[in-house]
């Protein structure tokens, strides 16, 4: 395939829509640019396009393409086409290959070798929520990248578990990056961009709908070696993802669930029909040790899920309270210390002591990570872990220059 400017890839995807089958079109016309320049006569002559699709191609304007490119430049989104080295090789084999991906964060995560998809219901039980986070934690600790959909419930816990393990994670959204979908997950999405990337096949302002999520699901399975279904009903989108995985020749795993709860019927159904049951991370990663043993640490994967602590970062936040700030600690640079009382949110009572210590060292202006370490006398890995915990709670955020501030 010859190189093609990004605007033509965007043009074609806008015209035919996300998830459209384009393998035969690209084999015939070679590139979207050549297809665009061929014109309506050649489109009809190819015999590959319906009248409806021809009309869509004719009405797809470059003015819209320019708007998309400008939005991406302003927001710092990466535009990734099949010509880009960041485009995931595993997706190039799909008949309905995405023509454009829009990403925030470290988009190299798209090509991580040991990627495991984890999906499940948004309305998850406590069992499903804890299992997803703990299993994801152990998978990430053992070298896997966790891929999910950035939604509430199982998706969020899968991403959170990976980040708490200081691992890598990738979220495929069912809407555009500039859409304020699930505002309560904003802090999670910001955190994901530090440990991987948030990616969408949809142009920035595309709203979420009932059709966008099933189309998105093929990408979760597409970049993954296998997909783990944690908790899902028989008609859930998670089973759509599992079906995509089977069609793509990927492995399907499922966590056994309560047989009297309908939210587990889908996962139990998959096990009954051949999916591998999962009781720990080793059950998943042992399938790939023979190929990627140098990238996997099965000693961590053998850890029992029950022994992993659960971080309940979604507990109801308490009201903000005014905190009188004492004289700045000499370990923190004076030009970064607050000079007036600031408003800090009250931390949950059962948050870790280390998180409380780190939080006390932060202010509204931002404190550099090295200064936080000096101020708290905690090791760097502990500080980073607690900052992730605080970031998931929505108490702090990372600024440019490795500075963290309260929000």
Give 30-62 pLDDT, tens digit per residue. 999 999 999 999 999 999 999 999 999 999 988
400 found inside a domain: yes
Statement to judge: residues 114 and 233 lie in one domain: yes
Same domain for 71 and 120? no
345 plus 375 within the same structural domain: yes
**Would 177 be classed as within a structural domain?**
yes
Give the β-pairing of 367-368 and 403-406.
antiparallel
Of 79, 103, 127, which residue is a domain's last?
103
How far is Cα 31 from Cα 8, in angstroms, rounded to an integer? 8
Does residue 82 lie in a domain region?
Answer: yes
The dihedral through the CA atoms of 89, 94, 95, 96 has a sign that is negative
How far is residue 395's CA from residue 289's CA, in Å, rounded to a whole number?
A: 39
Same domain, 242 and 140: yes
pLDDT at 398: 80
Q: Which residue has the tokens 């280390």?
A: 354
Mean pLDDT of 228-237: 90
| Domain final position from 55, 72, 103 | 103
16 has a pLDDT exceeding 60 = yes
Among 57, 83, 103, identify where a domain stops.
103
Q: Is residue 328's pLDDT more than 70? A: no
CB 227 within 8 A of CB 220: yes
In a domain, 110, yes or no: yes
Label residue 249 exposed, middle or buried (CB < 10 Å: 0-12, 13-18, 19+). Answer: exposed
Q: CA of 96: how far to CAs of 59, 93, 112, in Å? A: 22, 9, 21
Tally of domains in the chain: 3
Do 344 and 198 share a structural domain? no
pLDDT bracket for residue 327 (50, 70, 90): very low
Per-residue pLDDT at 336 exceeds 50: no
Do 53 and 17 reside in the same domain of the chain? yes
Q: Does residue 156 sit in the same domain as residue 208? A: yes
Q: In the predicted model, what is the mean pLDDT of residues 280-292?
A: 96
- Per-residue pLDDT tens for 90-112? 999 899 999 999 999 999 999 99
Q: Is the pLDDT of residue 310 over 70?
A: yes
Tell me what percent of the residues of the chain surpass a pLDDT of 70: 91
Looking at the chain, the whole-number percentage of residues with pLDDT higher than 90 is 67
Query: Quick check: 200 pLDDT over 90?
Result: yes
Strand partners, 171: 148, 198
**Do 168 and 83 have their domain in common?**
no
Q: How confident is the model at residue 338 (pLDDT cuts 50, 70, 90)?
A: very low
Q: Do the domain assignments include residue 315?
A: no
User: What pLDDT, on the 0 to 100 scale, is given for residue 392?
Assistant: 79
Q: Is residue 345 part of a domain?
A: yes
**Half-sphere CA count of 145, side-chain side, radius 13 A:** 25
One domain for residues 285 and 369: no
What's residue 343's pLDDT? 60
pLDDT tens figures, 154-166: 999 999 999 999 9
In a domain, 313, yes or no: no
Confidence bin at 86 (pLDDT 50/70/90):
very high
Q: Are residues 381 and 365 in the same domain?
A: yes
What's the chain's average pLDDT?
88
123-151 residue pLDDT tens = 999 999 999 999 999 999 999 999 999 99
Mean pLDDT for 361-386 is 87
CATH number at residue 228: 3.40.50.450
Q: Are residues 36 and 161 in the same domain?
A: no
Q: What is the mean pLDDT of residues 368-372?
A: 89
CATH number for the domain including 344?
1.10.10.10
Q: What band does 330 get if pLDDT is binned at 50, 70 and 90?
A: very low
The 403-406 sheet, strands edge to edge: 367-368, 403-406, 396-399
Please determine, for residue 182, whether its predicted confidence score (pLDDT) is greater than 80: no
392 falls within a domain: yes
- In Å, how far from its chain's centre is CA 350? 27
* Residue 392 and residue 248 in one domain: no
- Cα dist from 160 to 196, 274, 361, whole Å: 12, 29, 24
Q: What is the residue range of 224's domain?
A: 106-307
pLDDT of residue 1: 59
């Amino acid at each position: 395939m010859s190189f093609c400017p990004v605007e033509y890839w965007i043009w074609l995807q806008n015209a035919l829509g996300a998830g459209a089958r384009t393998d035969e079109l690209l084999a015939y016309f070679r590139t979207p640019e050549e297809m665009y320049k061929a014109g309506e006569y050649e489109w009809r002559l190819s015999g590959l396009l319906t009248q409806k699709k021809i009309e869509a191609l004719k009405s797809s304007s470059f003015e819209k393409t320019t708007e998309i490119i400008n939005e991406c430049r302003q927001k710092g989104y990466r535009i990734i086409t099949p010509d880009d080295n960041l485009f995931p090789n595993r997706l190039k084999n799909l008949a309905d290959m995405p023509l454009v991906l829009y990403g925030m964060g470290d988009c190299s995560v798209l090509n991580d070798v040991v990627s495991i998809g984890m999906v499940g219901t948004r309305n998850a039980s406590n069992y499903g929520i804890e299992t997803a986070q703990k299993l994801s934690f152990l998978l990430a600790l053992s070298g896997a990248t966790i891929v999910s959909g950035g939604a509430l419930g199982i998706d969020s816990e899968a991403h959170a578990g990976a980040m708490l393990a200081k691992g890598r994670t990738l979220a495929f959204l069912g809407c555009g990056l500039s859409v304020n979908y699930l505002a309560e997950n904003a802090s999670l999405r910001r955190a994901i961009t530090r440990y991987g990337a948030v990616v969408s096949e949809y142009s920035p302002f595309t709203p979420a709908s009932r059709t966008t999520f099933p189309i998105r699901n093929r990408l979760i399975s597409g970049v993954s070696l296998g997909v783990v279904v944690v908790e899902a009903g028989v008609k859930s989108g998670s089973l759509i993802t599992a079906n995509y995985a089977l069609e793509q020749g990927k492995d399907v795993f499922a966590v056994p669930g309560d047989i009297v709860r309908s939210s587990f019927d889908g996962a139990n159904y998959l096990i009954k029909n051949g999916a591998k049951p999962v009781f720990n991370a080793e059950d998943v990663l042992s399938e790939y040790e023979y190929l990627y043993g140098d990238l996997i640490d099965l000693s961590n994967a053998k850890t029992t899920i029950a022994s992993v602590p659960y971080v309940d970062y979604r507990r109801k936040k308490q009201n903000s309270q005014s905190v009188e700030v004492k004289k700045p600690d000499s370990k923190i640079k004076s030009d970064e210390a607050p000079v007036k009382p600031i408003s800090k949110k009250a931390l949950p009572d059962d948050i870790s002591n280390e998180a409380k210590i780190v939080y006390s060292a932060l202010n509204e202006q931002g404190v550099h990570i090295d200064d936080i370490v000096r101020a708290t006398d905690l090791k760097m890995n502990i500080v980073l872990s607690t900052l992730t915990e605080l970031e998931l709670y929505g108490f702090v955020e990372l600024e440019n220059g490795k500075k963290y501030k309260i929000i």
